[in-house]
């Protein structure tokens, strides 16, 4: 039952990122700054950190593919990138003691890794012409800042929800 609740919550977050968040972040007021809410990705990292890394990666691939189908023109970029970013970030998490600070730091790294990975793939296949210095100056800092704040807000309730899930409920 909790597995179903987790999926529904992740799906709601996916839908909110693409619909509701556009109204909370008025892009015309920010000038050159580009803010990308990667809230679903942060939650997927927390699933990998605190519940089960296998399910974190599976959900990353599924929701990455869903992102490709709904929001992009190339299928597979987000599915590959989100899966790889969750795997790499989870691999780093095994070396540290996971507390709220390390979760925020690793989430920031994961968001940076995901955004850079997608940007480089799009740059290679010429789907973007944004210069690299603009990407790293105007997009990455604001995106990481927003997602760190989100991580700090959802850390305790989401970790409590995930810790209530037994390994058998995930299988």
pLDDT at 23: 67
CA dihedral for 102, 108, 110, 113, sign (positive or negative): negative
Q: Does residue 128 carry a pLDDT above 80?
A: yes
Q: Comparing C-alpha atoms, which of 45, 37, 24 is closest to residue 158?
A: 45
Look up residue 30 and give its DSSP letter.
S
Tens digits of per-residue pLDDT, 67-96?
999 988 889 999 999 999 999 999 999 999
Calculate the average pLDDT of the chain: 89
Of 1.25.40, 1.10.1760, 1.10.357, 1.20.1070, the CATH number of 2-15+35-170 is: 1.10.1760
Per-domain residue ranges of the chain: 2-15+35-170
Alpha-carbon gap, residue 114 to 124, rounded angstroms: 15
The pTM score is 0.91
Query: What 3-state class would DSSP assign to 165?
Result: coil
**Which token pair is 52?**
């089960």
């Amino acid at each position: 039952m909790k597995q179903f609740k987790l999926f529904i919550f992740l799906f709601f977050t996916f839908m909110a990122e693409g619909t509701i968040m556009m109204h909370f972040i008025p892009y015309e007021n920010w000038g050159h700054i580009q803010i990308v809410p990667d809230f679903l990705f942060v939650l997927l990292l927390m699933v990998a950190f605190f519940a089960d890394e296998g399910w974190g990666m599976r959900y990353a691939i599924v929701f990455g593919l869903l992102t490709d189908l709904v929001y992009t023109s190339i299928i597979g970029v987000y599915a590959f990138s989100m899966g790889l970013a969750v795997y790499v970030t989870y691999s780093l998490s095994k070396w540290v003691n996971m507390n709220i600070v390390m979760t925020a730091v690793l989430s920031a790294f994961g968001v940076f890794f995901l955004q850079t990975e997608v940007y480089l793939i799009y740059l290679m296949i010429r789907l973007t012409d944004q210069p690299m210095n603009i990407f790293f100056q105007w997009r990455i800092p604001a995106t990481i800042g927003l997602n760190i704040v989100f991580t700090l807000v959802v850390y305790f309730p989401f970790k409590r929800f995930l810790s209530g899930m037994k390994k058998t409920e995930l299988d």
